[in-house]
Every structure is written in structure tokens, then in C-alpha cells.
Amino acid sequence: MAARKERLIHAHCDGVDYTFVRANRISHAWFGGPLDHEVTGLEYGPRKLHFIGHLGSRAIPALGSPSIFELPLVYGMCFNGGDITYRLAGFRKIEVLGMSERRSLDDWPYAGFPYLLPYVPLERATATPRSYADFAKRFPNLPDRPEGQLIVCVPPPATIGLSLWGSGDFEGVTIVFDCDLTTATVHAYNVTT
């Protein structure tokens, strides 16, 4: 019997629950890797934002609109508080609109945290009709209703060779990307179980 692959990214949009697992080939969805987008807007630092992943219209059909055709998942891993709002401002351009903390810490989420997360190509494992309420049961402390039309959750991965949160992995710290597809705006934050 084949081993079940870890679901690295979970998403909900238009009444469909999507899950993504490691792929054996380069694909149009991935976890980690370099952030090759131009980042403008609010100043922050000295550490850069982390590229958590990428989803496109082949992964989630709702991303095939004129206002948004790809979704870079960007997060301030080294910024305690971890609340960030950004807007997709054109091809490979991100404008940071707000951050709860704009100064990075040397020891957050733990000392020696890498500048890049491991690159893992992803494939869609499932696309299952499901209500948002049922989707949210897997991630305690999600809002009763998301701000946008697409919500993406990235729980602590066990199989990429890196801890996202150190001891916080045991607390189930999950990164949430709440995406308004009409304004191409993403509000990213974290919740714990």
C-alpha cells in the first residue's frame, strides 16, 4: 500500500476544498523557494519576507480572472506578530500595505531560521465540494467568515526537512492567507490549534 502524501497547502474557494501534495515534477503550484517578485510599499527589515508558496489558475480555477491569475503566498516569518496585508500590483509585483511588526528579529521564529524555505513542487491532490464551515473545522480559530473569496491554510509541514515554527510546530501554528480576488488583496496571519 502506497504511503499517503502530506497535504502541504489547503485552500477553500467557491464551495470547493483543495489540497496540495508534493509532486514528482515541476508544476504550476509550489511550496517555498525564492521570492522573485518586486516588493514595494511599506518599508520593513532587515530580514526579507518569505515566499511560502505559489498557486495559479491551473491549481484553483478562480485564479483565472483578469484581476488575479496567480497567487504568491508571502509571509513575514521573521517578524513577530506575523500579520501582513499586501496587494498584487501587476506581474510579479507585490505592494505591502500593512504589517503588524515591521522590524524583523534575529531569533524569530527561532535562531538560524533560513532565508529561503525549501522548494517543493506541488500537485492538486483533491478538489472536494465542501462548505467553508466544514473546511474551517480542520483549522481551529479561523474566522467564522473569511474576508475574501479564497482562503489558504499552510499548517506546519512534517516532510520538507525544515521546521517552520520550532516548538510552535507542536502547537499547530498555521499560516492563513485570506484573499480578496476582486481587489487582489491578501491578508496573511497565523492561528494556533
pTM: 0.95
End-to-end CA distance of the chain: 31
CA angle 104, 186, 64 (to 5 degrees): 135
**Segment 48-107, tens digit of pLDDT:** 999 999 999 989 999 987 777 789 999 999 999 789 999 999 888 999 999 999 999 999
Q: Per-residue pLDDT for 2 more than 60?
A: no
